[in-house]
Amino acid sequence: MLLWFERSRIYPVFMSLVRMVSRSGDGYMQMLFPLLAAAFSSAVGGHFFAIYISAFAIERLLYLLLKNTLRRQRPSAVVPHIEALVKAFDKFSLPSGHTMAAFLLAAFAVIVFGKAAAIVYVWAVLVGVSRVILGVHYPSDIILGAILGSAIGYIAAAYL
């Protein structure tokens, strides 16, 4: 079945969508979010920006610290027959930085806009899953990234 899928006309379209979802987690959404939040919520002010940017900086520092401490090789470097279908920013996989940042953003979206913004978590999950499909992460990289990103978001939100 998997072989049929790879040879079908659907596969290239599916993979294009997977790459697009993965790219949406590259970081520009994290920079665009505070601007969108300010445009659509009167509750967002300078204090929000300071907390959000601080949380994002902490997330990036923790991501770099863990990647360079744990030094877990990417699946394509270790598992036979797994090919990285995108170029990764670095050579280590744990935790997924795309997923950490996406879940941080999702946590803040729910905090600012309420339960209606929980749909942003769907995007965050899709970002994580896309990284596994593209061969640059293990599922456990995604799980840890999701936990850490959400935790940083909710801890930082306590200061809003």
pLDDT over 60 at 20, yes or no: yes
37 vs 110, higher pLDDT = 110
Overall number of domains in the chain = 1
Parent domain of 138:
14-157
What band does 2 get if pLDDT is binned at 50, 70 and 90?
A: very low
Beta bridge partners of 92: 73
17-26, 51-60, 75-84, 127-136: range with lowest mean pLDDT: 75-84
Contact 89, 64 (CB under 8 A): no
Does residue 32 sit within a domain?
Answer: yes
What is the model's pTM?
0.87
Does residue 31 sit within a domain?
Answer: yes
Buried b (16+ CB within 10 A) or exposed e, 27-60: bebbeebbeebbeeeeebeeebeebbeebbeebb
Does residue 8 sit within a domain?
Answer: no
Does residue 2 sit within a domain?
Answer: no
